[in-house]
Amino acid sequence: MTQARHELILGGAKSGKSRTAESRAARWLGEGGHRRAALVATALRGKVTGDAEMDRRIARHRADRAARVPQLQTVEAADALGGTLQGLSDPQLLIVVDCLTLWLTQILMPPPGRVASAALWHQEREALLSALRESASPIVLVSNEIGLGVLPMSREARDFIDTLGLLHQAVAGLCGRVTLMVAGCELSVKDET
């Protein structure tokens, strides 16, 4: 069953995915009433991964978001994304998830100290899909479309691309809108609204 109020925004790196999702939140907030918007950030901070550049990237994204959509509250959920969405569920709250690619990466290729598990991936995937089916909130999900290029040489990279592609298909099946971003331009892939 598709949820017309949900949208999946796909695109390559720096294609405008996040800005487009933020514009959806700004438009939602601009419609007045008691509407609120939250961004669920899925990236692990560098202090967990040992990646200082990622910390700088996260800080830059936060500052840019605050300048563009100051009312957009940020919730960090590198783990238990489905549970986080269920906990936030409210028809007056639009949720932006940025992004599914990082979330999946952290489950399948976790940083040191964390363990990858097929069982954990299956559990997290099902929790996300269940949250999308049941959420009272409209949800805008951002993810990278990485399966358009040459098939990588490593088995791990091929497995990741396959898993992400299958996740995109499942999520798109539960969304009324799917948008592909190319060079800052929106291409409508699916629109049941």
Q: Is the pLDDT at 167 greater than 60, yes or no?
A: yes
Q: So what's the pLDDT on residue 55?
A: 79
Q: So what's the pLDDT on residue 70?
A: 80
* Domains assigned to the chain: 3-191 (3.40.50.300)
pLDDT tens for each residue of 42-91: 987 655 556 788 778 777 878 887 777 788 889 988 789 999 999 999 99
Distance, CA of 96 to chain centre: 7
Residue 82 has φ and ψ, to the nearest 5°, of -60, -45
Residue 160 has φ and ψ, to the nearest 5°, of -65, -50
Q: So what's the pLDDT on residue 15?
A: 96
pLDDT tens for each residue of 4-41: 689 999 999 999 999 999 999 999 999 988 999 999 99
Cis ω before 185 (30° cut-off from 0):
no
Q: Which of 6, 34, 61, 122 is catalytic?
A: 61
Percent of the chain whose predicted confidence (pLDDT) is above 70: 95
> Does the annotation count 168 as an active-site position?
no
Contact between 151 and 158 (Cβ < 8 Å)? yes
pLDDT tens for each residue of 86-116: 999 999 999 999 999 999 998 998 877 778 8
Q: So what's the pLDDT on residue 49?
A: 57
pLDDT tens for each residue of 139-149: 999 999 998 88
Return the higher-pLDDT residue of 179 and 77.
179
Q: So what's the pLDDT on residue 46?
A: 55
pTM given for the model: 0.91
Which residues contact residue 92 at a Cβ distance below 8 angstroms, ignoring those fewer than 6 apart? 33, 34, 35, 36
